[in-house]
Amino acid sequence: MKKIFKITASAVGVIIVLIAGLVAFFAFRGVPSYEVEIPEKIKTIKVEVTPERVARGEKIALVVCNGCHIDNNSRLTGKNIVDLPAAFGKAYSLNITQDNEDGIGKWTDGELINFLKTGIKPNGKFSPIMPKFPRMADEDIQSVVAYLHSDRYPVQATKGKQPAQEPSLLLKILSNTVMKPIPVVTEPIHVPDSTDLVAFGKYVANDMIACYACHSKDFAKQDPLNPELSLGFYGGGNPMPDLNGKIVPSSNLTFDNETGIAGKYNEAQFIDAVKFCKKPDGSILRYPMGPHVTLTDYEVKAIYAYLKTIPKIKNKVN
């Protein structure tokens, strides 16, 4: 019996040492960098800046970029992400103005598109907490690039380099294990026919503005290439801090009769909630939910139609 106990104790000791060594390695390595391998098809893209693309890109950027990157002067110079979950450490968003030194003025169109799809910067550094858009339609992602190259006020060259990131040990571990760059999708991606309301709503919700990212269960257990495989897909409960550090779990957007939005939001009320943060009783939805005023009523209507088709999840969110 004593021999078995000694063997067991030795095995446990070895496991503890191995785990401690692995944790120490992740802590020392930090968030990894990667070799930049941009597919030739993307690397050679030269985006034509047209008024139509700038307008479309601005519309998308106002929903998916400005919240994290805009400063007090309405320029996209980046800032401290104060509502980042504390478990991830401290993070600062990138200066994405046209400044050549502090911003992205020297980035090529291919490098920008690759970054938006994979999270890898031209220098190989990985941004684990930045949303990625691997399935955004080719025309839409080029429109975002056109906007970043445009004469619009927020993107004009502006000095301002953010401090170095301060990832927590947890984020270092996650970025070395499960939060990794996304493989580049090179086949053509098109915006679905808008007359197919469900398909169009699926695209807007999942691929264009990534609603599922906040409204699923856990940021670390999501699959941007296959959003439906994300843990708790649209079932809510993802713990998200407000600007004061108070946790506000995301809402369950499935059509579960008891805990979802079935019977609580009709189509018109859902449009008001998404576009203006207005609840059916007239009160305002809490931050971090923000208004999505650049979305059209039809786009939000399509999202509502799509949400009706996804599996219901029983998850009561306070």
Nearest to 211 by CA among 187, 238, 191: 238
pLDDT value at 235 more than 60: yes
The tokens for 51 are: 């008024």
Q: What is the mean pLDDT of residues 227-242?
A: 93
- The rounded distance, in Å, linking the Cα atoms of 141 and 269 is 30
pLDDT tens profile 284-299 = 998 889 999 999 999 9
Q: How far is CA 249 from CA 66, 235, 243, 298, 311, in A?
A: 22, 11, 14, 27, 20
| Helix, strand or coil, per DSSP, at residue 125 | strand
In this prediction, residue 1 has a pLDDT band, given cuts at 50, 70 and 90, of low
- The rounded distance, in Å, linking the Cα atoms of 90 and 81 is 7
In this prediction, residue 220 has a pLDDT band, given cuts at 50, 70 and 90, of confident
Say which DSSP state 57 is in. H
Q: Would you list the DSSP string of 169-205?
A: HHHHHHHHHTS-PPPPP-S---PPPTTSHHHHHHIII
| Total residue length of the chain | 318
- The rounded distance, in Å, linking the Cα atoms of 104 and 158 is 10
pLDDT tens profile 246-255 = 889 999 999 9
In sequence order, the 6+-apart residues with CB closer than 8 A to the CB of 22 are none
* Per-residue model confidence (pLDDT) at position 186: 87
Q: What is the mean pLDDT of residues 216-241?
A: 92
* Per-residue model confidence (pLDDT) at position 11: 58
pLDDT value at 130 more than 80: yes
pLDDT tens profile 56-113 = 999 999 999 998 999 999 999 999 998 888 888 999 999 999 999 999 999 999 999 9
What is the average pLDDT value for the chain, to the nearest integer?
92
Q: What is the mean pLDDT of residues 225-229?
A: 95
CB-neighbour burial class of residue 251 (10 A; exposed 0-12, middle 13-18, buried 19+): buried
Q: What is the mean pLDDT of residues 174-196?
A: 91
Enumerate helices (H) and strands (E) in the chain, giving the number of each: 11, 4
Q: Would you list the DSSP string of 272-310?
A: HHHHH-B-TTS-BPPTT----TTS-HHHHHHHHHHHTTS
CA dihedral sign, ordered 53, 56, 57, 58: positive
Helices (H), the chain: 2-29, 40-43, 51-64, 66-69, 109-118, 138-148, 169-177, 197-202, 211-215, 267-276, 297-307
- The rounded distance, in Å, linking the Cα atoms of 187 and 313 is 33
Rounded to two decimals, the pTM is: 0.90
pLDDT tens profile 3-30 = 666 666 555 666 677 677 777 877 888 8
Q: Residue 166: beta bridge partners? A: 90
**Percent of the chain predicted with pLDDT > 70:** 94
* Per-residue model confidence (pLDDT) at position 96: 97
Q: Tell me the helix, strand and coil percentages in the chain, rounded to 5.
A: 40, 5, 55
Domains of the chain, start order: 40-177 (1.10.760), 197-307 (1.10.760)
HSE, side-chain direction, 13 A CA sphere, residue 274: 26
- The rounded distance, in Å, linking the Cα atoms of 307 and 255 is 7
